[in-house]
C-alpha cells in the first residue's frame, strides 16, 4: 500500500514538472469593431514574449511556417479582401538560408467582414510558428470565435 502511494506521488510530481516545461511564448487575443451597420473589422492580436518572434503571412516557400488565418464560411458574414498585417521585420536567417519576415513584441492582424445581419460570431483557425535565437517550437493551430455586435 505504501509503495502504491509513493509511486502515485512520484508520477504526479513528474507530470506537473513536464507540464511546467511547456513553452507558450505567444498569447492571442481577439476583438471586433463595427465600422457601419453592415461592416466590421476583426482584430487578431499576438502578444509575443521577449526574445521570440512570429512569422508573417507572406513567408516564401522553403522557410518557416508562415502565419495563416482561415475564416469559417458563414451565412452571417463574408470576408472582404485579405487579412492585413503591419510591416514586418525582414532579416536573413541562416537556419532557413533566406530572408524571413516576422514580428516581435506584438502584432495585430486585421480582417474586414461584411455582415448579413446586425450581429455575427466570426469563427476560424490560425496556424503559426514561433522561434527565438536558439529554437523553434512546432507549429500550433488555434480556433477562435469573435462576437461582432
CB 123: neighbour CB atoms within 10 A? 16
Distance in angstroms (rounded) separating the CA atoms of residues 147 and 28 = 16
- Which pLDDT belongs to residue 85? 98
* Interatomic CA distance for residues 139 and 134, integer angstroms: 16
- Location of C-alpha cell 516564401: 60
Mean pLDDT of 44-57: 98
More confident residue, 94 or 27: 27
* DSSP conformation class of 5: H
Task: Please list the helix, strand and coil fractions of the chain in percent, rounded to the nearest 5, in that order.
Answer: 15, 50, 35
- The rounded radius of gyration (Å) of the Cα atoms in the chain is 20
Query: What is the pTM assigned to this prediction?
Result: 0.84
Beta-bridge partners for 102? 55, 89
Domains of the chain (ranges, CATH numbers): 25-148 (2.60.40.1250)
What count of Cα atoms within 13 Å lies in the side-chain half-sphere of residue 117? 10
Region 74-99: what's the mean pLDDT?
Answer: 96
41's grid cell? 473589422
Q: Give the mean pLDDT of 8-32.
A: 68
pLDDT at 34: 97
Q: Which residue has the higher pLDDT, 8 or 65?
A: 65
The C-alpha cell that represents 97 in the structure block? 538560408
Number of C-beta neighbours around residue 106 at 10 A = 14
Helix and strand counts by DSSP (H, E) for the chain: 1, 11
Amino acid at each position: 500500500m505504501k509503495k502504491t502511494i509513493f509511486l502515485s506521488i512520484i508520477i504526479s510530481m513528474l507530470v506537473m514538472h513536464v507540464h511546467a516545461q511547456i513553452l507558450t511564448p505567444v498569447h492571442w487575443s481577439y476583438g471586433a469593431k463595427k465600422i457601419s451597420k453592415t461592416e466590421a473589422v476583426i482584430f487578431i492580436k499576438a502578444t509575443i514574449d521577449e526574445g521570440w518572434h512570429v512569422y508573417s503571412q507572406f513567408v516564401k516557400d522553403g522557410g518557416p511556417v508562415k502565419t495563416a488565418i482561415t475564416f469559417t464560411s458563414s451565412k452571417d458574414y463574408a470576408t472582404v479582401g485579405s487579412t492585413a498585417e503591419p510591416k514586418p521585420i525582414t532579416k536573413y536567417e541562416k537556419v532557413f538560408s533566406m530572408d524571413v519576415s516576422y514580428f516581435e513584441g506584438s502584432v495585430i492582424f486585421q480582417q474586414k467582414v461584411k455582415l448579413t445581419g446586425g450581429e455575427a460570431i466570426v469563427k476560424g483557425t490560425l496556424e503559426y510558428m514561433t522561434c527565438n535565437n536558439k529554437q523553434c517550437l512546432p507549429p500550433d493551430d488555434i480556433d477562435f470565435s469573435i462576437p461582432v455586435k
